[in-house]
């Protein structure tokens, strides 16, 4: 993973704070989590949101590229790790967050990442970029089914309980609206009737969704590309016609 700068993390700060302010209360409503670990936490804005919502027991993990002086949580609540390698902490948590991180890691590390997440908590809140979503150093963009299969190998069941609730909320970044799923093990599901109501049955994976904002952005980029190419063709045709007329 490349060395992401503090400026890169800060460029997402305001939007991330706003998204977290909407999603964190929903997560707490669904899970009742009293401890949270965020794998790929960046500067810790999501963990800060959990703290603001009353969850004091939080911990963040990310690479050595994170400037710990800029953390939104205490430095003693952060560990620098290579996320492409097996992750082992001295304790477990009630909820594990891993949001828009997996696509930044090589495909060869996907199984390792999922295994690490499932070892950290009985419930995982997971969001990863879909194909052609685009972004800095996105090297493994996949549809949800790809990740669902990997979580199922650890007996974690997908729960699609959040996307519909945030889909049209302008405060939430579109990538969370289209990508965010929960994964829970059997014990967590047995003790949580709220999650049980949104379980995705085997063989009926959640819809691979594309949010209108992503579609509009992609369409605009495509239109611009077509316009540029058309202008180039017309410009060449004009100069060619000019030369032909000049010879007449």
Q: Is residue 175 in some structural domain?
A: yes
pLDDT of residue 165: 96
97 shares its domain with 187: yes
Instruction: Clarify whether residues 33 and 130 are in a common domain.
Output: yes
User: Is 10 in a helix, a strand, or coil?
Assistant: helix
Predicted TM-score (pTM) of this structure: 0.83
> Cα–Cα distances in Å, from 164 out to 17, 26, 35, 176, 214?
20, 12, 25, 11, 17
Q: Are 230 and 107 members of one domain?
A: no
Residues 215, 202 share a domain? no
Q: Please report whether residue 1 resides in a domain.
A: no
Among 183, 49, 79, CA closest to 121: 183
- Residue 40 falls inside a structural domain: yes
Same domain, yes or no: 152 and 233: no
Q: Report pLDDT for 117.
A: 99
Query: Does residue 182 sit in helix, strand or coil?
Result: strand
The per-residue pLDDT string of the chain (248 residues; one tens digit each, 9 = 90 and over) reads 455 677 767 766 777 899 999 999 999 999 999 999 999 999 999 999 999 999 999 999 999 999 999 999 999 999 999 999 999 999 999 999 999 999 999 999 999 999 999 999 999 999 999 998 877 779 999 999 999 999 999 999 999 999 999 999 999 999 999 999 999 999 999 999 999 999 988 777 777 878 778 768 777 766 555 555 555 655 675 455 445 444 54
Assess whether 222 and 133 both reside in one domain: no
- Rounded-to-integer distance, Cα 60 and Cα 41, Å: 5
Q: Which pLDDT score, from 0 to 100, does residue 235 have? A: 66
CATH code, 117: 3.40.50.150
Distance of CA 204 to the CA centre of its chain: 22
The pLDDT, as a whole number, for residue 234 is 54
- What range defines the domain where residue 241 resides? 211-248
User: Can you tell me whether residue 37 is helix, strand or coil?
Assistant: strand
Domains: count for the chain: 2
Residues 217 and 203 both lie in one domain: no
Q: Are residues 151 and 243 in the same domain?
A: no
Please give the pLDDT value at position 241. Answer: 44
The helix (H) or strand (E) run that includes residue 60 is strand 57-62
pLDDT of residue 7: 75
Query: Same structural domain for residues 99 and 217?
Result: no
Q: Are residues 153 and 202 in the same domain?
A: yes
Query: What is the gyration radius of the CA atoms in the chain, in angstroms?
Result: 22
Residues 159 and 91 in one domain: yes
């Amino acid at each position: 993973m490349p060395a992401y700068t503090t400026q890169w993390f800060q460029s997402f700060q305001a939007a991330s704070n706003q998204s977290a302010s909407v999603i964190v209360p929903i997560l707490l409503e669904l899970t009742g989590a009293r401890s949270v670990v965020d794998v790929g936490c960046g500067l810790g804005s999501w963990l800060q949101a959990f703290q603001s919502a009353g969850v004091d027991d939080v911990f963040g993990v990310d690479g050595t590229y994170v400037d710990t002086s800029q953390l939104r949580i205490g430095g003693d609540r952060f560990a620098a790790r290579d996320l492409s390698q097996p992750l082992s902490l001295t304790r477990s948590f009630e909820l594990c967050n891993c949001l828009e991180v997996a696509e930044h890691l090589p495909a060869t590390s996907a199984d390792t990442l999922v295994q690490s997440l499932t070892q950290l908590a009985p419930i995982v809140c997971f969001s990863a970029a879909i194909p052609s979503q685009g972004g800095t150093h996105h090297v493994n963009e996949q549809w949800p089914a790809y990740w669902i299969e990997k979580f199922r190998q650890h007996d974690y069941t997908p729960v699609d309980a959040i996307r519909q609730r945030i889909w049209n909320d302008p405060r939430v970044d579109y990538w969370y609206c289209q990508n965010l799923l929960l994964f829970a093990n059997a014990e967590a599901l047995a003790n949580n009737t709220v999650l049980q109501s949104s379980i995705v049955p085997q063989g009926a994976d959640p819809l691979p969704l594309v949010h209108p904002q992503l579609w509009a952005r992609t369409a605009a980029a495509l239109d611009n590309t077509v316009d540029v190419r058309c202008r180039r063709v017309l410009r060449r045709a004009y100069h060619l016609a000019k030369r032909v007329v000049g010879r007449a």
